[in-house]
Amino acid sequence: MSQRKSLVRCLAPLLLAWGGVGAIPAQAATDCPALLQHTFPRLQDEKPQNLCQYSGKVLLVVNTASYCGFTGQYKGLEALYDRYRGQGLVVLGFPSNDFGRQEPGSAQAIADFCENTFGVRFPMLSKTEVSGRGANAFYKQLAQRTGEAPTWNFHKYLIDRQGQAVLSFASAQDPATPAFAQFIEKLLSKK
C-alpha cells in the first residue's frame, strides 16, 4: 500500500504537468473560477483552449450562427471587443447548429465566413451544442446560474471578472446599443 502511495506521489506532478485531455494544472485550478474550468477546441485549428486563460476578464459569451437574422450582430460584437479588450473584455463565440440549422458548415467554413464577412478577431471556439440535453457543460452551468438557456442564436451571457455573476440577454439584445455597452462598462469597472 505504501509503495502505491509513493508511486502516486511521484506520478502526480508529471500527470499535472502533462495536463491530459481537459485537465487543468493544480495551480491554475485554484486560481480559476469553477465556471471557467472547461476546455474547448479553437474553431480555426482545433487546438484546445482552456477557459481559465480568461480568468480575471469580463466575458461576453455568445452562441453564433452564420445564417441567422441576427448574424449581423457579429459587427457589434467585434466592435465591443475592439473597444474594450484593452480594459479586460473578451468576447467568446460558440457556433451552434441548435436553432433552425443555421450553422451547418464545417469549422473552416464558419471561420472563413466570420473573418471574411465581419472581420471577426475575437476568440471563436468549435461548433457545439448550447441547449437541451446535449448542451456542453459550460452552457449548462450558464443556464443554471441565470435560469435562462438560449432559445435562439446570439443569446448572450456576461460573466464578471471573478466568474461569479452572470447576466443573460436574449438574442434580440443588440450588442451595438449604448445600453448594452453600459452593462459591460459596469462589469469592467469592478476590479
Q: How confident is the model over 88-117, as a mean pLDDT?
A: 97
Of 19-23, 107-111, 142-146, the poorest mean pLDDT is in 19-23
Question: Model's pTM, two decimal places?
Answer: 0.84
73 and 17 in one domain? no
- Model confidence pLDDT, tens digit, residues 117-141: 999 999 999 999 999 999 999 999 9
- Cell triple for residue 114? 466570420
97 and 13 in one domain? no
Q: How far apart are CA 32 and CA 26, in angstroms?
A: 10
106 and 76 in one domain? yes
For 77, the domain range is 33-189
Question: Per the residue annotation, which of 10, 32, 52, 68 is the catalytic one?
Answer: 68
- Model confidence pLDDT, tens digit, residues 1-11: 444 434 334 43
17 and 37 in one domain? no
Does the annotation count 52 as an active-site position?
no
Over 90: is that where the pLDDT of 22 sits?
no
CB 157 within 8 A of CB 167: yes
Q: How far apart are CA 17 and CA 32, in angstroms?
A: 17
